[in-house]
Amino acid sequence: MPDAQIAEGPQAGGWLTDAGTVGSMPAVGGTLKLSDLEQGVDQINRLRRNQAEVQILPGQAPGGSVIALANQPGDRFRFSAGTDNYGSRATGTTRLRAGIDADNALGFQEAVSLSYIGTRDTNAAIVSAAVPFGYNTFSYTGSLSEYNSLIGDTALLYGRTFAHAFGWNRVIERDQAGRTAFDVTLTHRRSEREVNNLLFEPQSLSVLRVALNGLRKFAVGNQGGYATWEAGLSRGMDALNASHDAPDITRDEAHSQFWKLDGNASTQLPLPAIGSAALAYRGQVSAQWSNVALFGSEQIFAGGMGSVRGFREGLISGDRGLTLRNEVVWGNVPVLAGVRIEPYVFLDGGQTQLVANQHWQYLAGTGMGVRLAANAGKHAFTSELLLGRALVQPAELGSKATVLLATMNYTF
């Protein structure tokens, strides 16, 4: 029977309690399972400030054990600022970001963040919180975004969106090689638009998504690799004041009530070395399918740093589609003046289809990039520079372009 022993320090708990740390460990008097212990340490180390380690020591009672948890936590608060040129031409390519993260401020091992991102004609504020409890993690994300956009030379479109997302994640199986989890998310989104101060009818969506996801770690030769996967099913509901579809709605009209399948997978695999250079392959695929037309917030987009690289922004979208990202990374470049360097080359592709026209569109891009990272005490600097070229795109988008994209981030 285990007896819990928690190592304490001036920053071990929160302002109110240390219940989150104690609650992460197996209960006193219960049967000690290694999987429970690993889950507890993982939940504590979800927070970037924590570096928890655990030891199992002999207890005083016959057959008993003592769980000795040691942690040297970092700062409770973390601030960040950054900029990039990932924005759209319509609302401004230069984006500015700022954020604050609070780890275990109250003592429930909760993570809370507040962030802002803006361009010339857009603003977005996001707040999120996540609280673990054993094999469960409960989360909330709220956001407010707005934008201005010119329509021709005479009309100004203004849009605003409020969104709330409540999530529950439950680890249902885990071992030393990985874990499998069940995920439920309820999202409510309300969008408002007006043209020259003429207000359109607001559009509201309530979407329930259930998913299974997993992580597996493995060895290839004497090097490590991993794979992740997720499969989800979404239902657009008529609850929570959501917009209602007309009784005679057709398949090619955007639906508020719908079914949608989606999935994604990723992997990292070591590749044969070239001389002393250690290479690795990283791949990621995302896909979705719906049998009816969807509103933009539920569609899949291709193009930009988050999906198909080689393009400045998302260029095609659809109710159905797939994106594929591939890159080869040089992982052991010598550190230069304290800066870690990770060069890579990439080849990405994607395809989307709108139910309304049943026409597939394709994108493909290639190029190279480098990721940089440096630390100086509590200060961290990261950056990425990408040079990309369009290979395939719809003819109506004109000539293929070369893009130079960059981001810089500072955390303290």
Which whole-number Å values give the CA distances from 316 to 226, 238, 356, 389, 394, in the listed order? 30, 28, 14, 16, 9
Whole-model pTM: value is: 0.90
**330 secondary structure, DSSP code:** E
For residue 41, give the amino acid letter: V
For each of the chain's 412 residues, which pLDDT tens digit applies?
444 444 444 445 788 888 888 778 777 777 778 888 889 899 999 999 999 888 888 877 777 788 888 888 889 999 999 999 999 988 999 999 999 999 999 999 999 999 999 999 999 999 999 999 999 999 999 999 999 988 888 899 999 999 999 999 999 999 999 999 999 999 999 999 999 989 999 999 999 999 999 999 999 988 999 999 999 999 999 999 999 999 999 999 999 999 999 999 999 999 999 999 999 999 999 999 999 999 999 999 999 999 999 999 999 999 999 999 999 999 999 999 999 999 999 999 999 999 999 999 999 999 999 999 999 999 999 999 999 999 999 999 999 999 999 999 999 9
* Assigned domain for 199 exists: no
Q: What is the DSSP string of 293-341?
A: -B-GGGSEEE-STTSSSSSSS--EEESEEEEEEEEEEE--PPPBTTEEE
Position 209 scores a pLDDT of 99
What is the separation, in whole angstroms, between the first and last Cα of the chain?
43
Contact 329, 270 (CB under 8 A): no
Q: Which of 54, 17, 15 is nearest to 37 (CA)?
A: 54
* Assigned domain for 348 exists: yes
* Assigned domain for 29 exists: yes
Residue 10's CATH number: 3.10.20
DSSP H or E run through 350: strand 339-353
Measured distance CA(49)–CA(56) in Å, rounded: 23
| Domain final residue pick, 53, 70, 87 | 70
| Domain final residue pick, 11, 44, 70 | 70
Measured distance CA(386)–CA(408) in Å, rounded: 12
Total Cβ atoms within 10 A of residue 240: 14
Position 5 scores a pLDDT of 46
* Assigned domain for 84 exists: no
Provide the number of structural domains found in the chain: 2
Position 349 scores a pLDDT of 99
Q: Range of 24's domain?
A: 2-70
* Assigned domain for 64 exists: yes
Position 12 scores a pLDDT of 56
**269 secondary structure, DSSP code:** E
| Domain final residue pick, 28, 55, 70 | 70
